[in-house]
Amino acid sequence: MISDLRQLGDWALIAGGSEGVGACFARRLATAGVNLVLMARKAEPLEALAVELRAASGVAVRTLSLDLTAPGAIDQARVATDDLEVGLLICNAGSETRFGDFVDTPLSRAEGMIQLNVVVPTALAHHYGGLMKQRRRGGVILVGSMAGNSGCAKIAVYAAAKAYSQTFAEGLWAELNPHGVHVLGLVIGATRTPALERAIGTAHDGLADADEMAREGLDHLDEGPVWVAGGNASAARHIRALPRAEAVSMMSRGTASLID
């Protein structure tokens, strides 16, 4: 565990920082005295959270309302933080809240999911990770999913994108850790967030607590390359060890139980 997160740098950038796990990361970092850049699509929740954090913790908070799938969005993020030392990057955008067979849904949905979960984290990690390497300090958390452990019906593109996230985190950790930069692929299961509740309702047991997921990510940032949160490490190992058809069938049944 890193005893003082401010040693990574004065600011943290959270992509997908307006609600759910992202907002929980923000509250915990603000309590630790880390200034924040919160980036998400919806301006109102961002501003409301910023007001809350400034009042509660006295940290500086910048908000950046961006559709990260839009052309030029990453460049806007860079420009908005050029005057800051971003010591912690958290890529949390890109949860799946719409379920369906890949070939029966618009291709644009799949392209947006790939943009949020593959292109955006890759671009952000390249920019901010490069600066961290130069300073020889910093941290990157890429929020992944148990869905990334195998293919899965109804969320085929999301599962594939989260598989990329975990493998990317592993390679990035191998490259940056020798330079004093922590990288963590934080693998979480189905988590009770406003976005998921809007998609499937509130009457589901067994969903992980969003604040607990954020806590585990920060507590284990220096234990990369991957931390499987919520006590799911043995389940993740089991899924990966199964014959692939069995793994896909099991994961698909789990997803179906959420949406039925």
List 11, 128, 158, 173, catalytic entry: 158
**DSSP state, 119?**
I
Round to whole Å and give the CA distance between 68 and 78: 12
In sequence order, the β-bridge partners of residue 65 are 40
Q: Please confirm, yes or no, whether 164 is among the known catalytic residues.
A: no
For residue 225, is the peptide bond before it cis, meaning its omega torsion is within 30 degrees of 0? yes
- Rounded to 10 deg, the angle between the 20-31 and 43-57 helix axes is 20
CA 71 to chain centre: 21
Find out whether 187 and 227 touch, Cβ atoms under 8 Å.
Answer: yes
Report the side by side order of strands in the sheet with 61-65. 61-65, 35-40, 11-15, 86-91, 138-145, 181-188, 226-228
Torsion 56-57-62-68 (CA) sign: negative
Round to whole Å and give the CA distance between 236 and 251: 11
Residues 6+ apart with CB under 8 A from 168: 121, 122, 125, 142, 185
Query: Which residues are designated catalytic?
Result: 158
